[in-house]
Amino acid sequence: MRQVLTNGLLWFSALGCGLMAGIYFAFSTFIMTALGRLDQAAGIAAMNAINVDIVRSLFMPLFLGTTVAGAALVVLGALRFSEPGAVSMIAGGGLYVIGMFVVTVALNVPLNDALAAVQPSSPEAGAVWAAYLKDWVFWNHVRTIASIGGCALFIVALAAQSVS
């Protein structure tokens, strides 16, 4: 039963990290570039609309569920440190929870809140928007890489367990 739970968490986490990486990759590679080409008021309004809708979408259960599963895998890996795949479980979960979840909560969300607080057509909005595009995209790159890394490490853990 213990192995079934671990394998289930690994599969869910690998798939969840992969999906999250795809979402973040899209934002990093073309969505934010397109929004940045809009005039500031339209770009800010569009990003604020995305930020409102994303928390009401299936993104949130995936975001939270993968984070909880990743944290659980850190604990399970630590409890079974000598078993095959344990180090990859710990590394994958730690990378994902810190590089995706903590970065989101500590950096991307406050940037979103600051953007939501500005009047899109105000004179100060231009500076806020320019800084937002630079800083938010940088931290989104970090989330993309952390999600890809977590996915890869969970796949390594699955492979290590299947070989043993």
In whole angstroms, what is the distance from residue 102 CA to residue 110 CA? 12
With cut-offs at 50, 70 and 90, classify the pLDDT of residue 164.
low
Domain limits at 127?
2-163
In whole angstroms, what is the distance from residue 120 CA to residue 134 CA? 17
pTM, to two decimals: 0.95
Is the pLDDT confidence value at 114 over 90?
yes
Domains held by the chain: number = 1
Which structure tokens are listed for 151?
A: 């996915």
With cut-offs at 50, 70 and 90, classify the pLDDT of residue 163.
confident
Question: Which residue's structure tokens are 């928390």?
Answer: 55
Mean pLDDT computed over 122-149: 97
